[in-house]
């Protein structure tokens, strides 16, 4: 009669004689102290009439009684490990999503104070640079940057910002939120290989065109036509 046991401290699975494992412990050899009792949990116990049958066939020895059982244990162990990996991945995904959603709720930034608050937050917690802004996507660099910047800034605030911070506007090039855009562009598969320079140029162009968006270009043309008509 024998037991198949799991050692509690190491999770190792062993086959042991029934007389060696009693009352939740099993004798086990130790290099330092010889045979010592270790805590175990029995996962299988053979019947009283069961015995290990060893058959010699010249070049090999088959343990006919244990082989199917051990195979089943290995299959179950592999299944359990795969389940643990799936659960770990799902938990990690939930954590990432919740962090991203928390930060995305702060966007779009709508005034200078919100920019300053975000700058302080990113300076204190630089790991927040890795956000879900990349999910805005885009098939080209200009499209990707445009989608990200639109999610990052309101239209009214974008007109108060330029790249270098001239003419009384906020300078985007030295802000921490610029890193948000760069990281997000790189996380997008179609723009992952873009250089810093190309990303900076795309941001600069987007900021330069801020006044033309949301009907701004048409409004400017309308005023120009009205002005020319008044001069005639």
Q: Say what the pLDDT of residue 170 is.
A: 96
What is the pLDDT, as a whole number, of residue 98? 52
Q: What is the DSSP letter of 194?
A: -
Residue 47: what pLDDT?
Answer: 62
CB-based contact 22:3 (threshold 8 Å): no
- Yes or no: say if 1 and 45 are a contact pair by the CB < 8 Å rule: yes
Report residue 229: phi and psi, to 5°: -65, -35
Peptide bond into 108 cis (omega under 30): yes
* Beta carbons of 117 and 175 less than 8 angstroms apart: no
Give CA–CA dist 151/100, Å, rounded: 13
Distance CA 4, CA 14 (A): 6
pLDDT at 58: 43
Task: Dihedral sign for Cα 143, 149, 155, 157, please.
Answer: negative
Length of the chain: 232
Residue 3 · residue 44 · CB < 8 Å: yes
Query: pLDDT at position 207, please?
Result: 97
With CA atoms as reference, report the closest residue to 45 among 5, 98, 79, 75: 5
> CA dihedral in degrees (96, 101, 103, 104; nearest 10)?
130
To 10 degrees, what angle do helices 141-152 and 176-187 make? Answer: 130
Q: Determine if the pTM surpasses 0.75.
A: no
Alpha-carbon gap, residue 188 to 146, rounded angstroms: 13
Q: What is residue 10's predicted lDDT score, i.e. its pLDDT?
A: 78
Whole-angstrom distance, CA of residue 192 vs CA of residue 182: 10
- Mean pLDDT in consecutive groups of 10 residues from the start of the chain, 232 residues: 78 78 78 74 69 44 60 73 73 56 79 93 81 78 94 95 96 94 90 95 96 78 69 60
CA 12 to chain centre: 31
Report pLDDT for 30: 67
Q: Do residues 61 and 54 lie in contact, with contact meaning Cβ atoms separated by under 8 Å?
A: yes
> Cβ(16)–Cβ(52) under 8 Å?
no
């Amino acid at each position: 009669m024998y037991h198949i046991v799991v050692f509690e401290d190491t999770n190792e699975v062993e086959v042991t004689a029934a007389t060696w494992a009693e009352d939740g412990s099993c004798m086990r050899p130790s290099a330092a102290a010889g045979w010592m009792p270790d805590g175990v949990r029995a996962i299988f116990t053979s019947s009283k009439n069961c015995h290990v049958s060893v058959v010699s066939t010249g070049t090999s020895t088959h343990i006919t009684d244990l082989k199917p059982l051990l195979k089943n244990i290995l299959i179950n162990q592999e299944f359990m490990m795969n389940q643990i990996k799936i659960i770990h991945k799902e938990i990690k995904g939930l954590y990432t999503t919740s962090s991203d959603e928390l930060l995305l709720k702060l966007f779009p930034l709508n005034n200078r104070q919100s920019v300053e608050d975000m700058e302080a937050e990113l300076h204190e917690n630089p790991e927040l640079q890795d956000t879900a802004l990349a999910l805005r996507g885009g098939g080209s660099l200009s499209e990707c940057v445009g989608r990200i910047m639109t999610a990052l800034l309101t239209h009214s605030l974008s007109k108060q910002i330029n790249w270098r911070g001239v003419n009384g506007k906020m300078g985007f090039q030295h802000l921490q939120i610029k890193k948000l855009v760069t990281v997000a562009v790189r996380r997008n598969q179609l723009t992952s290989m873009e250089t810093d320079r190309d990303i900076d140029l795309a941001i600069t162009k987007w900021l330069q065109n801020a006044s033309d968006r949301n009907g701004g270009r048409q409004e400017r043309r309308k005023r120009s036509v009205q002005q020319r008509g008044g001069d005639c």
